[in-house]
Amino acid sequence: MPIVSLDNTITIAISVRDRHASARWYLDKLGFELLYHADDAGWSELQTKTAGVTLGLGEQTEPTPGNAVPVFGVPDVVTARKNLELAGVDFDGETQVIEGMVSTATFYDPDRNALMLAQDLTGCLP
């Protein structure tokens, strides 16, 4: 039995220089749908053509290409993180909370690939 209960959603997070321009590119070239721009958080999210899979665009002055981070939806990030930590999984710093939006925790697989847990705080997801 798995240590963590995952939702049926995944967000692939990538870093970009200009979220708005990148979002337009994904809309025009791949037909994704814009879900929202969270300008205060430097984040935009698009619905891909695959159910339950979104693309997150994190704005950075110097983005790191090829550094995609799978973000797994969980119903309770505190419990999920605690269970993974008890199983010896390493986390990168504290859980981050953007009130009314999301709570995230970055962790690593054995090869130090970054992965993330995310709990939706908007009440929009089932």
Instruction: Give average pLDDT by consecutive 10-residue segment, the chain, 126 residues.
Output: 88 92 92 94 93 92 81 93 94 94 92 88 71
The C-alpha atoms of residue 23 and residue 32 are separated, in whole angstroms, by: 9
- SS3 assignment, position 104: strand
Strands 69-73 and 53-59: unpaired
- SS3 assignment, position 70: strand
Whole-number pLDDT of residue 61: 84
Q: What are phi and psi of 53, to 5 degrees?
A: -115, 120
Q: Could you tell me which CATH number the domain at 10-120 has? A: 3.10.180.10
Whole-number pLDDT of residue 125: 55
Residue 95's Cα: distance from chain center in Å? 13
* Ramachandran category for residue 100: left, alpha or beta (phi over 0 → left; psi -120 to 50 → alpha): left
The C-alpha atoms of residue 87 and residue 83 are separated, in whole angstroms, by: 6
How crowded is the C-beta side of 120, counted as CA atoms within 13 Å? 15
40 CB neighbour count, 10 Å cutoff: 8
Whole-number pLDDT of residue 113: 80
- Per-domain boundaries in the chain: 10-120
Whole-number pLDDT of residue 22: 93
The number of residues in the chain equals: 126
The C-alpha atoms of residue 93 and residue 41 are separated, in whole angstroms, by: 18
